[in-house]
Every structure is written in structure tokens, then in C-alpha cells.
């Protein structure tokens, strides 16, 4: 089975990364530098962005990052966990790019 996504770490910020689906949809993620809850990056100024749940879902247990490794590693793991449902889960977001 072909991989349906690619996760790229921001080269400047270990607490930011982007997940790109094979259909071109991108979802940007960030977390506080010292660790904390993972959030989506939005275009809405002055907001932290919605929290992300385990498996990159929109509901459930909130996904937390320790800050001890690149955020992209956590997002890759959660994308694998989501499996084939990942595209359906991310398509609802139309304001996810920065």
C-alpha cells in the first residue's frame, strides 16, 4: 500500500511541522517549544489554533508533545495510527495552512 502522506519538519523550529496528503491538502502543526498540547496552525491572527487529538482526530484524548524530539516524529506516529482514515479526517479543515 502506498503511503498517503508526507511529514516535513520545519528546519528552523523543532516545534513545527507540516503533514501533506497525496491529494495536496496540507495540515500544519505546532506545540510550545518546551512541550505541551499539539495544535493546528490557522490563518486566524491572535489564536493558538485548535488542539489536536490522538490519531490526529478532531475529538478524543488531546495529543501532547514532550519537546524532547522533533514534533514531526510524533505527527508521523499519529498519522500511521490514523491509517487510511487520515485523508477523511483532514479534509474537513479548509483553513489549515499558514
Q: Specify the higher pLDDT residue, 32 or 43.
A: 32
Give the integer Cα–Cα distance in Å for 36 and 3: 28
Q: Is the pLDDT of residue 18 over 90?
A: yes
Q: Specify the higher pLDDT residue, 47 or 87.
A: 47
Q: pTM of this prediction?
A: 0.81
For the stretch 40-80, pLDDT in tens is: 998 887 788 899 999 988 789 999 999 999 999 999 999 98
State residue 80 phi and psi, 5-degree precision: -65, -40
Amino acid at each position: 500500500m502506498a503511503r498517503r502522506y508526507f511529514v516535513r519538519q520545519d528546519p528552523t523550529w523543532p516545534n513545527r511541522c507540516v503533514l501533506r496528503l497525496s491529494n495536496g491538502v496540507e495540515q500544519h502543526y505546532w506545540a510550545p517549544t518546551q512541550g505541551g498540547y499539539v495544535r493546528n496552525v490557522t490563518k486566524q491572527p491572535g489564536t493558538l489554533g485548535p488542539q489536536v487529538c490522538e490519531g490526529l482526530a478532531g475529538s478524543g484524548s488531546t495529543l501532547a508533545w514532550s519537546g524532547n524530539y522533533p514534533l514531526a516524529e510524533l505527527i508521523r506516529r499519529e498519522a500511521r495510527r490514523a491509517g487510511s482514515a487520515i485523508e477523511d479526517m483532514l479534509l474537513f479543515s479548509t483553513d489549515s495552512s499558514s
